[in-house]
Structure formats: structure tokens, C-alpha cells
Structure 1
């Protein structure tokens, strides 16, 4: 079992990697592309990571 803090750090790193291109190129938000998809991706990633660590 992975301690929650370690998992949280990994997720934080992944979130920064996902968020960085959005900050780098702000035209993504103007192209009509839903930024909500990133949030859903992070939630799915969280659930996947949690299910992996509980085994």
C-alpha cells in the first residue's frame, strides 16, 4: 500500500504536467476545446491510481 502523501505528490506532478501546456498556449481555451476534459481525465486518473494502490 502506497502512503497517501506519496500518491498525492505523484498526482500533483501529473496535474502540473497537464496544466503546463494550457498555461503555455492560452489559445487552447479560445479554440472552443472543452477544458473540462482535463478535469475528468484527472478524476479518472485519481480513481485508477487509488484502485491500483488498494490491491
Structure 2
């Protein structure tokens, strides 16, 4: 699968970018399911892990 960046100026498919953002957000926040985070270090580690999974 090849990753492509969706154009933010394209009006031909306005829902595509919103859908990509929603899917990314769901994937990211699923890492925190059932967790209460009160430390930014934990949050930053999870963010780095998520970004490494996406690339």
C-alpha cells in the first residue's frame, strides 16, 4: 500500500480529508482506551509510537 497525502485545496472530495482525520484520530485514541493519563511523558511516548506505526 502506498501512502499519499490528500490535498486540502481540492473541493472534488470534501469528505475524504475529514474521513482520513477521523480514522487517524480513532486509531490514535484507541491506544488510550481505558487509560487515565496524568503525565505528558506517557502521552508523548504513545504519540511517537503511533506516528512510527503510520510511517
Q: Which has the higher contact order (CA 8 A, sep 6+)?
A: 1
TM-score under structure 2 length normalisation: 0.44
Larger Rg belongs to: 2
- Structure with more helix by fraction: 1
